[in-house]
A and B are shown apart, each in its own frame.
Chain A
Amino acid sequence: MHDAHHAEPTGFLSRVVFSRDHKVIAKQFLLLGLLFLGLGGVLALLIRWQLAFPGKPVPIVGQYLFSATAGAISPEGYTMLFTMHGTIMIFFAITPMLIGAFGNLCIPLMIGARDMAFPFLNMLSFWVAAASGVVLAGSFFVEGGAAMAGWTAYPPLSGATATPGLGQTLWAVSLFLGGVSTLMGAINYVTTILMLRAPGMGFFRMPLSVWGLGLAAVLNILFVPVIAAALLMLILDRVANTGFFVSGAQPGSAGDPLLFQHLFWIFGHPEVYILILPAWGIVSDLLAVFSRKPAFGFKATAIAMSSIVVLSTVVYGHHMYTVGLSPGLGKAFMSLTMLISIPSSVLFLNWLGTIWRGSIRLEPAMLFALGVVFVFGMGGLTGLFLGAITTDIYLHDTAFVVGHFHYTMAASVLFGSLAAIYFWFPKMFGRMLCPELARLHFWFTFLPLNLVFFPMLIEGYGGMPRRLYEPTSYKYLVQFQPVNQLITFAAMVLGLAQLIFVWNVARSLWAGERAPANPWEATTLEWLTPSPPPHENFDVIPDVHRGPHEHSRPDVPDRDWIGQWESQAPETPLTPPAPPSDSEAVAV
């Protein structure tokens, strides 16, 4: 069933729409993610407009979107905007792009498999994701509009009394469906990695991208059911008048709003790592490829990522320092949180070790990978202030938190996705992107992005609350209005710069140069097969002879890479009879 060769399906429906080919499903997820990324970005710009010019009509689009208020954003509308921006970006933009698209594309190709272990389940995973996206997008059009309880949907705000509209219920249903889709994908990814590796592909020969994607899938299997339980209870509270999260709503009922927060963050903290682990893995691989060096401390990186996975399961309480946890519990969560900085530092230093004295090629994918290193560093450092109780109590619920998690979750993961797109686009579509446009895209993304999120740290330090509708309503915040306007202008530039990317992709799909099998002279298995790969990926499943980053071996004179599939470097004996000391030093 899994080993046999299958004929390529020929119909349009089975080839393009209901395809079971992981490469097609990857493209479908990429399209879904990019569409929602655009939508989430537009919502972000509307939020920024309100913060920079409170109560002023939104130019151009305002008259259509907010006709009832003559183009201005109402408080309810603003609440809806930031709720849906967060939800869309996390669950419908970044998750489909990194995990849906690149999980699907990379895992089978990089481990030398013909497809996923369960191709039908894989197809189902996409279509459930698409359905959940339709439910979420449709919730904008129901009476009362979309969800308004924040992306965290804490009860009693998300209960039937505070947000009675259908939109909030559809929000929960859509997230539940999204969870089902994610779970189907995750079971597929882990089974595929465990069962379908090519001969010779030991765990420590797998590229770090596969490590990151696999570990994220493990976290998904463990923690998506937790949020599913919370969502089930939330839905029942709303439609069946149960009382899980409402205290004293009916006699004999003593629900607890904090129960939702516990369940939400038991999932929510690992979710951060679910999104960032694939980005870490991809960056670790790309830095090696474009520094023409083996990944520094390869095994240590893999082990550090694994230990972060373990630690991430026991630190969720750092999101709840201010709810009245017992101080002892708070301290325990703080210590565990701080412990994460050890493996994170290992990871970070290993990245620096990889690029140290490398022959760096500043291809666009490398620029974005270096961008991840920078913004993840920023995110990690600002995280220390929020992980420590003393500073968190002051900074809690301020723009500092917004700046921090956008550096960590938004910027790192967005750059990770863009690095992945620039790196694997030739493999996916068989065309090269224009590198000049891509570099322009990088700089017009990287610089404005920092102008958006760094000032938020300052505003938050100055006491500006997050989710604030009218910043000038507090006297002490009036001084920040120029900063708010600067952020908004930077955000507009950031948004417009994405058109460069859209144009580059469209141009390349139409008239891009044909991609060779291995344009980056990389070493992992996906570069062995043609671009785009044929149905079932490989003519013959390759034997794997070495680790994933064999660059610049001194005993290979002609070129600075050897593919994992090559038993011998071309026309060169692998172990020359020369003094063995050199070759031993670089042997794996």
Chain B
Amino acid sequence: MSDIAACEVSPVAPVATHGELADVVGMSLFLGSGAVLFGSLLMSYAMLRAQQPVWPPAGCPPPPLLMAAANTLVLAVSSVSMARAQIQAASAIRCAGALGATMALGVLFLVLQLPVWSALRAAPQFGLMRSVFLLLAGCHALHLAAGLGALAWVLPGALVSEPRGQQLAARVRLCAMFWHFLGVAWAALFLTVFVF
């Protein structure tokens, strides 16, 4: 591969083989069921909240909006970096760099979750708020950790450029689908729990 070819911003690699297409279909179905899972949890949250006379419950401080917004920003940037990795899948080094940045931002997101969680825990009466947040954010964080695991599996391959071209692109595509899904799920969670 010449440098010129690598410098060109190539479009996202098209799905090449039948097997790759099957992988995309399988991942889409998986994400569909993931959407139902988060949807069910958010619906449960809405139903419990609708029964409260005031929200947040008496004695509970309002959820830490600013910290959660910082979380959202970090995850949004990580999605952009994931998209860059996908675009640059033709160049193993650049792709690996973008993947590494995505992972770092993912870890940063998890670290930034801690102050949000402890702010909620510190509330004198955290009853239902704690339950809801433990569940929604915990579920999301576990999925994100799984996403980091997947990236950690793809990244070394990209660095030694062992899976060349098409194969790397196919792996990064699946990771990106999952990662963007996590971004959307967090956005929905952020809007329901922190903004409204």
Show the binding face of A for B, using Cβ within 8 Å.
1-3, 117-118, 121, 183, 186-188, 190-191, 194-196, 221-226, 228-230, 232-233, 236, 240, 242-244, 250-256, 259, 262-263, 266
What are the residues of chain B within 8 A of A224 when measuring CB–CB?
33
CA distance A252 to B59 in the complex (A): 8
Residue B134 contacts which of A1, A223, A236 (CB distance < 8 angstroms)? A236
Q: In chain B between 29 and 86, which residues have their CB closer than 8 angstroms to a CB of chain A?
A: 29-30, 32-34, 36-37, 40-41, 44, 47-48, 51-52, 57-60
> Are A263's CB and B40's CB within 8 A?
yes
> Are B59's CB and A259's CB within 8 A?
no
B135 at the interface (CB under 8 A from A): yes
Q: What band does the interface of chain B fall in when counting residues whose beta carbon is under 8 Å from A?
A: 35 or more
Taking chain B's interface residues, is the majority helix, strand, or loop, or is none over half, making it mixed?
helix
Q: How far is the CB of B170 from chain A (nearest CB, A)?
A: 10
Residue B37 contacts which of A225, A240, A244 (CB distance < 8 angstroms)? A225
CA distance A464 to B84 in the complex (A): 66
CA distance A253 to B51 in the complex (A): 11
What are the residues of chain A within 8 A of B59 when measuring CB–CB?
251-252
> Are A243's CB and B127's CB within 8 A?
yes
8 pairs across A/B with beta carbons < 8 Å? A187-B26, A190-B29, A195-B21, A242-B135, A244-B44, A251-B59, A263-B40, A266-B40
Number of contacts between A and B (CB, 8 Å)? 115
B194 at the interface (CB under 8 A from A): no
> Are A259's CB and B44's CB within 8 A?
yes
Q: How far is the CB of B22 from chain A (nearest CB, A)?
A: 4
Given contacts A117-B26, A188-B26, A243-B128, contact A1 B17 (CB under 8 A): yes
CA distance A242 to B135 in the complex (A): 9
Q: In chain B between 4 and 36, which residues have their CB closer than 8 angstroms to a CB of chain A?
A: 17-19, 21-22, 25-26, 29-30, 32-34, 36
Given A222-B36, A242-B134, A253-B128, 16 more A-B residue pairs with CB atoms under 8 Å apart are A1-B19, A3-B18, A187-B26, A195-B18, A221-B29, A222-B32, A226-B40, A242-B135, A243-B128, A244-B48, A244-B135, A253-B57, A253-B127, A254-B127, A256-B51, A263-B44
Q: How far is the CB of A236 from chain B (nearest CB, A)?
A: 6
Residue B25 contacts which of A191, A232, A243, A244 (CB distance < 8 angstroms)? A191
Chain A, Cβ-Cβ closest to B125: A252
> Are B26's CB and A118's CB within 8 A?
yes
Q: How far is the CB of A342 from chain B (nearest CB, A)?
A: 27
CA distance A223 to B32 in the complex (A): 11
> Are A255's CB and B29's CB within 8 A?
no
B184 at the interface (CB under 8 A from A): no
| Residue of A121, A223, A251 contacting most chain B CB atoms (<10 Å) | A251
B118 at the interface (CB under 8 A from A): no
> Are A225's CB and B40's CB within 8 A?
yes
> Are B131's CB and A236's CB within 8 A?
yes
What are the residues of chain B within 8 A of A190 when measuring CB–CB?
25, 29
CA distance A118 to B22 in the complex (A): 9
Residue B128 contacts which of A121, A225, A255 (CB distance < 8 angstroms)? A255
CA distance A230 to B43 in the complex (A): 11
> Are A229's CB and B57's CB within 8 A?
no
> Are B32's CB and A240's CB within 8 A?
no
Residue B58 contacts which of A118, A252, A259 (CB distance < 8 angstroms)? A252
> Are B40's CB and A229's CB within 8 A?
yes
What are the residues of chain B within 8 A of A117 when measuring CB–CB?
22, 25-26
Residue B19 contacts which of A3, A252, A263 (CB distance < 8 angstroms)? A3
What are the residues of chain A within 8 A of B40 when measuring CB–CB?
225-226, 228-230, 263, 266
What are the residues of chain B within 8 A of A3 when measuring CB–CB?
17-19
B195 at the interface (CB under 8 A from A): no
